[in-house]
């Protein structure tokens, strides 16, 4: 599947150069603060990637902070940067239980009221970016860790058809953008990925406009995803006519300095294996890392310990994981 045909010529030793040759998107999650303040960040981003995902600024809470107010300043900055550097943008995300503003959660809504709120939100945000994004993580993490539907405000008040309604409303607002279901801990085979498969199969069978599944891929060297399982999962989604993208990859190596070199090599192998699986699958169209350099990853504060999960170090120097991705992209 040919994915990109950028007009500017990327540096011929960059990730984006080799990814373009292989016809896949290579992306990074972008945080607004370093994008505004750090020229090294901007340089590496534009040189190495042909796609970006806003890490936070398109989420419900920041983009729709009050019932009747939207804030597009930061996400517009990001989309402008992408345009200037011939990069595609994945929108992230329209419906996610972790980014709900207080005005939404503090009130008791009727089903009709909440449907109106969700429809207006989706319509306003998707319309604002109509024609400018390649994909939206339309629905994020709607399946819980126990493989049942996650108990969110939307499920409780609207009922389980909130999922299909959301896809339909987004498609009405921008019929060309690819709409994804995106989740974690479901890259390979297992109860949660089976539940996601069943959900998206049902949506496809009923002609709900869903186009892809995002495999987030927040993983660790201690328990890496099994490449055969990931390939099998991507294949069964292909059989449903769905595209797949690796949407948020990072690989934890744990803290401590002992055997750092060895752990970075293990990390490189995990990145390499997942890139290989993606390249070998006919429906895997993009590979996105969740942050640019170890300086800005969400992992250390979330797990409350240092880590080095990304492909550039804190000084933006390429790590073994970067070299592994370059090699894998060059391997025919």
Residues that bind ligand G3I (CB under 6 A): 55-56, 59, 98-99, 140, 184, 216, 248, 298
141 is catalytic: yes
CA atoms in the 13 A half-sphere facing the CB of 87: 30
Our CB check for ligand G3I shows the closer of 173 and 249 to be 249
248 is catalytic: yes
The dihedral sign for the CA sequence 260, 265, 267, 268 = positive
CB < 8 Å & 24+ apart, contacts of 279-282? 279/22, 279/24, 279/328, 279/329, 280/231, 281/231, 281/234, 281/235, 281/238, 281/244, 282/1, 282/238
Our CB check for ligand G3I shows the closer of 216 and 233 to be 216
Q: Which helix (H) or strand (E) holds 303?
A: helix 299-303
Gap between the Cα atoms of 320 and 318, Å rounded: 7
Gap between the Cα atoms of 292 and 82, Å rounded: 15
Please state the closest distance from residue 55 (CB atom) to ligand G3I, in A: 5
Gap between the Cα atoms of 130 and 256, Å rounded: 46
Residue 270 DSSP SS3 = helix
CA atoms in the 13 A half-sphere facing the CB of 28: 27
Q: Which of 141, 164, 243, 328 is catalytic?
A: 141
CB 236 within 8 A of CB 193: no
What is the DSSP-derived secondary structure letter of residue 183? E
CB 322 within 8 A of CB 311: yes
Bridge partners of residue 29, in order along the sequence: 53
Bridge partners of residue 25, in order along the sequence: 286
| Distance set, CA 150 to CA 58, 156, 169, 330 (Å) | 21, 10, 21, 40
Our CB check for ligand G3I shows the closer of 33 and 67 to be 33
Token pair of 17 as six digits:
């150069």
Among all residues, whose Cβ is closest to ligand G3I? Answer: 298
Catalytic center residues: 141, 248
């Amino acid at each position: 599947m040919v994915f990109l045909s950028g007009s500017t010529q990327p540096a011929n030793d960059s990730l984006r150069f080799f990814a373009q040759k292989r016809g896949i998107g290579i992306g990074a999650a972008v945080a607004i603060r370093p994008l505004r303040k750090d020229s090294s960040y901007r340089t590496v981003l534009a040189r190495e990637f042909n796609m970006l995902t806003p890490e936070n600024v398109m989420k419900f809470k920041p983009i729709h902070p009050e019932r009747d107010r939207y804030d597009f300043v930061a996400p517009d900055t990001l989309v402008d940067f992408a345009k200037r550097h011939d990069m595609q943008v994945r929108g992230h995300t329209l419906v996610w239980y972790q980014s709900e503003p207080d005005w939404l959660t503090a009130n008791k809504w009727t089903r009709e009221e909440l449907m109106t709120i969700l429809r207006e939100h989706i319509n306003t945000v998707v319309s604002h970016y109509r024609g400018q994004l390649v994909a939206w993580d339309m629905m994020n993490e709607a399946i819980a860790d126990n493989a049942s539907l996650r108990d969110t405000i939307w499920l409780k008040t609207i009922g389980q058809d909130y999922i299909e309604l959301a896809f339909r409303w987004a498609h009405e607002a921008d019929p060309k953008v690819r709409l994804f279901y995106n989740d974690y801990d479901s890259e390979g085979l297992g109860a949660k990925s089976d539940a996601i498969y069943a959900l998206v199969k049902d949506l496809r069978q009923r002609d709900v406009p869903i186009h892809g599944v995002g495999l987030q891929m927040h993983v660790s060297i201690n328990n890496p995803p099994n490449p055969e399982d990931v390939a099998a999962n991507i294949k069964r989604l292909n059989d449903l006519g769905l595209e797949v993208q690796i949407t948020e990859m990072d690989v934890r190596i744990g803290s401590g300095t002992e055997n750092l070199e060895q752990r970075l090599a293990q990390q490189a192998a995990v990145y390499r294996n997942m890139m290989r699986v993606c390249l070998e699958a006919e429906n895997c169209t993009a590979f996105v890392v969740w942050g640019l350099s170890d300086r800005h990853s969400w992992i250390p504060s979330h797990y409350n310990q240092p880590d080095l999960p990304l492909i550039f170090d804190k000084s933006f120097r390429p790590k073994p994981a970067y070299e592994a991705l370059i090699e894998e992209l060059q391997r025919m």
